[in-house]
């Protein structure tokens, strides 16, 4: 009779720690986007942040499902980062439009730029850091 001791719970084996951290980073940046919007236009209650963020968080989850379904590394800028960025933006804007929230041209531009800079930006930084590290190890 052999005794095998599980090293981690089953769920932890299904979702790598880096994926959880990557998803958390994306959620953080979507919430930061909503918070910054609230700060620049409204000084109302913190619940306003969630009112602004929820359509983009839904878009983020859908985009992540696509990335996971394709088995792309969520940390890579292409294609995963671009899918997460554009999925978050497009679905977020569609939901805002369907619920009667504003779609002012300035908001459309600022949103795509901010989300692109943050959702693609951190991935670019991590990719560059990993590339640099692997080059140093190879020397």
Report the number of distinct structural domains present in the chain.
1
- Inside any domain, residue 74: yes
CA-CA-CA-CA torsion sign (72, 88, 108, 33): negative
- Inside any domain, residue 9: no
- Inside any domain, residue 12: no
* % residues pLDDT > 90 (the chain): 68
pLDDT (0 to 100) of residue 43 = 62
- Inside any domain, residue 70: yes
- Inside any domain, residue 118: yes
> What residues make up the domain containing 30?
17-138
Q: Average pLDDT for consecutive 10-residue bins of the chain (139 residues)?
A: 45 77 97 88 76 96 97 93 98 97 94 98 94 84
- Inside any domain, residue 113: yes
pLDDT (0 to 100) of residue 92 = 98
pLDDT (0 to 100) of residue 42 = 62
- Inside any domain, residue 3: no
pLDDT (0 to 100) of residue 15 = 80
- Inside any domain, residue 51: yes
Asked if 98 contacts 67 with a C-beta cutoff of 8 angstroms, the reply is no
């Amino acid at each position: 009779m052999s005794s095998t001791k599980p090293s981690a719970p089953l769920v932890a084996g299904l979702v790598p720690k880096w994926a959880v951290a990557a998803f958390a980073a994306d959620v953080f940046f979507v919430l930061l986007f909503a918070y910054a919007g609230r700060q620049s236009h409204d000084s109302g209650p913190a619940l306003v942040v969630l009112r602004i963020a929820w359509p983009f968080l839904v878009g983020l989850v859908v985009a992540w499902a696509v990335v996971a379904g394709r088995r792309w590394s969520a940390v890579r800028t292409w294609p995963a980062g671009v899918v997460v960025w554009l999925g978050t933006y497009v679905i977020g804007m569609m939901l805002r439009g369907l619920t009667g929230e504003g779609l002012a041209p300035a908001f459309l531009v600022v949103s795509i730029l901010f989300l692109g800079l943050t959702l693609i930006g951190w991935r670019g930084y991590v990719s560059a850091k990993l590339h640099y590290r692997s080059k140093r190890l190879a020397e």
